[in-house]
Amino acid sequence: MDIRLDDLRTYARCPLEWFWERRAGVPRPRTIASLLPTAIRTGLEFYYQGHADSLATAVNLVWHDWCEGWGEPALARELAQYAAGRAKILDLFSTGRVQRPDGGRYAVPEMTNEYRMRMHSAGLTNLVRSLDEFARTHGLIAPDESNRPGSALGDAFADCMAMAERNAPDLPAPAVVLGWVTPFEADLDNGMRLIGQADLMVRAESEDGAVIVEVHDFEPAPWVRAGLAGRDLRVIAAALAQPSSSQSESAGLSWQRVDHVKFRHWPTGQAFAFRETNTGHLLALAAAIARGMQHHVVIPRAVTGYESCRACAYREHCWGQPGWEVLPLLDAGLLGWAEAHRDAFQRLRQDVANDAALATQMRASVAVLEQALEGLPGSSILASVLQVLEMVD
Ligand code: SF4
């Protein structure tokens, strides 16, 4: 049985997230948080392909391309202006020129009034507003996102650039990098095979075909413990990495053994090397998660409250109207029904996305049907149709 490592991790984080993406076929909504890893991974590709002389230049190129793709080439200049202004303000905090009243350093300068005031006096307030207005109209910021200091889009750009500069000195030289986003397989010896991707595949110093597999992490944590990184499922799977058996996927890249796995945490620049990993931990988790997937166990993380869902890309789908409570998740029969209707819903979504008049007519029809069927069995299908219409909105 083949399982994608990404699916395993998504299901472990929230079975409903996995359901949206893999079972209901709802494309993962793009969020500002998802721009960071994409920018860094694409930047690494540009850099190692030789299109840029440094990672920072490569990541900047990625953002330029995005701005052009969004039809706003001038946005790239505004992002750079915001990043430069923010760096100057943060520098005041990190060098101790702005301190707490007791002389200590602020742990999170961005949350202070001082930071807001300095943003304002540096003339960045209008820029913040226009950047985030743009992000909101392009669906990158959820409508319920609360007021925050600074710009969410500007911070994503500035963080990307800062990460690229912080991590660049420790990156492997282009001459020893064999591949990026390299597919691999990990045979778990229990009938299961994990399909994963290495962020970087690097030639090890020994001459026996050994490689170093890099796993890149972008969780916005202020620090990472080596013990936790060593238990990361991606790290354990990477230690078992074998070349992909599919010719098209392996792209001719082969290796004999994994010398060690390097876990790189981009936000802090911390990196840990692991030569020994706990395969038993991976086996136990993979087997349990696979059982959950096979038996359609979908318990939404939302049951623990809204805060647990704040960073989730599908938040709007679960917490908007009609909400996750009405989804047919906990009953295997209803889940089967949902899956059987997946293609029909996807077709409906395509049709209404291309035809605003049809979408309007459908909304009116659903409202009439809702009134007529109120409380009757089968009326729940209307909630699903409404969700399709809302996705298009
Ligand atoms: S919003 Fe919450 S319940 Fe819904 S998919 Fe995301 S984490 Fe799961």
Provide the domain count of the chain: 3
Closest CA to 70 of 78, 173, 191, 300: 78
Q: Mark which of 169, 194, 216 sits at the end of a domain.
A: 169
**105 located within any domain:** yes
Report CA(115)–ligand 1 centroid distance (Å). 32
Closest CA to 369 of 380, 355, 356, 357: 380
Q: Note whether 217 and 270 are same-domain residues.
A: yes
The pLDDT tens digits for 198-208 are 999 999 988 78
Is the model's pLDDT at 334 over the cut of 60?
no
Q: How confident is the model at residue 30 (pLDDT cuts 50, 70, 90)?
A: confident
Report CA(291)–ligand 1 centroid distance (Å). 20
* Atom 7 in ligand 1: residue holding the nearest Cα: 309
**7 located within any domain:** no
Residue 234, C-beta contacts closer than 8 angstroms, at least 6 positions apart: 5, 9, 196, 215
Q: Are strands 210-217 and 242-243 parallel, antiparallel or unpaired?
A: unpaired
Is the model's pLDDT at 319 over the cut of 60?
yes
Amino acid at 83: A
Tell me which residue range forms the domain holding 253: 174-288
* Entry pTM: 0.79
Share of the chain above pLDDT 70, in %: 90
The pLDDT tens digits for 358-375 are 888 888 888 888 777 776
Q: Note whether 199 and 142 are same-domain residues.
A: no
Is the model's pLDDT at 149 over the cut of 70?
yes
Q: Note whether 221 and 310 are same-domain residues.
A: no
Per DSSP, what are the bridge partners of residue 182? 198
- pLDDT on residue 93: 92
Is the model's pLDDT at 323 over the cut of 80?
no
**338 located within any domain:** yes
Q: Note whether 100 and 178 are same-domain residues.
A: no
Lowest mean pLDDT among 6-10, 148-152, 266-270, 274-278: 148-152
Atom of ligand 1 nearest to the CA of 17: 5
Q: Note whether 156 and 181 are same-domain residues.
A: no
User: How long a stretch of residues is the chain?
Assistant: 393
Atom of ligand 1 nearest to the CA of 319: 1
> Three-state SS for 214?
strand
Q: Note whether 120 and 204 are same-domain residues.
A: no
To test ligand 1's pocket by mutation, which of 9, 16, 319 has the most ligand atoms within 8 angstroms of CB? 16
**296 located within any domain:** no
Q: How confident is the model at residue 316 (pLDDT cuts 50, 70, 90)?
A: confident
Q: Note whether 143 and 214 are same-domain residues.
A: no
To test ligand 1's pocket by mutation, which of 17, 297, 304 has the most ligand atoms within 8 angstroms of CB? 17
Q: Note whether 108 and 213 are same-domain residues.
A: no
- pLDDT on residue 393: 60
For residue 60, what are the CA distances in angstroms to 39, 84, 101, 186, 284? 9, 13, 38, 34, 42
Rounded mean pLDDT of 285-292?
Answer: 89
Distance CA 322, CA 26 (A): 16
Q: Mark which of 262, 288, 314 sits at the end of a domain.
A: 288
Closest CA to 9 of 180, 203, 219, 152: 219
DSSP letter at 207 equals S
> Three-state SS for 61?
helix
Q: Note whether 312 and 190 are same-domain residues.
A: no
Listed in sequence order, the DSSP H helices in the chain are 5-13, 15-18, 32-48, 55-69, 75-94, 113-121, 125-137, 152-167, 226-231, 233-239, 247-250, 279-294, 315-319, 332-340, 342-353, 356-373, 380-392
Task: Please tell me which residue, 164 or 103, carries the higher pLDDT value.
Answer: 164
Q: Note whether 267 and 354 are same-domain residues.
A: no
**11 located within any domain:** no
Report CA(51)–ligand 1 centroid distance (Å). 38
Report CA(14)–ligand 1 centroid distance (Å). 6
Residue 251: φ, ψ to 5° = 50, 35
Report CA(302)–ligand 1 centroid distance (Å). 6
DSSP string, 322-388: S-GGGS--S-HHHHHHHHHTHHHHHHHHHHHHT-HHHHHHHHHHHHHHHHHHTTSTTTHHHHHHHHH
- pLDDT on residue 274: 96
- pLDDT on residue 333: 58
**221 located within any domain:** yes
**4 located within any domain:** no
**1 located within any domain:** no
- pLDDT on residue 250: 59
- pLDDT on residue 194: 93
Q: Which residues sit with their C-beta closer than 6 Å to ligand 1?
A: 14, 16-17, 20, 300-302, 309, 312, 314-315, 318, 324
Task: Please tell me which residue, 329 or 316, carries the higher pLDDT value.
Answer: 316
Q: How confident is the model at residue 339 (pLDDT cuts 50, 70, 90)?
A: low
Distance CA 268, CA 205 (A): 26
Q: Note whether 58 and 127 are same-domain residues.
A: yes
Q: Mark which of 258, 288, 318 sits at the end of a domain.
A: 288
Q: Note whether 122 and 163 are same-domain residues.
A: yes
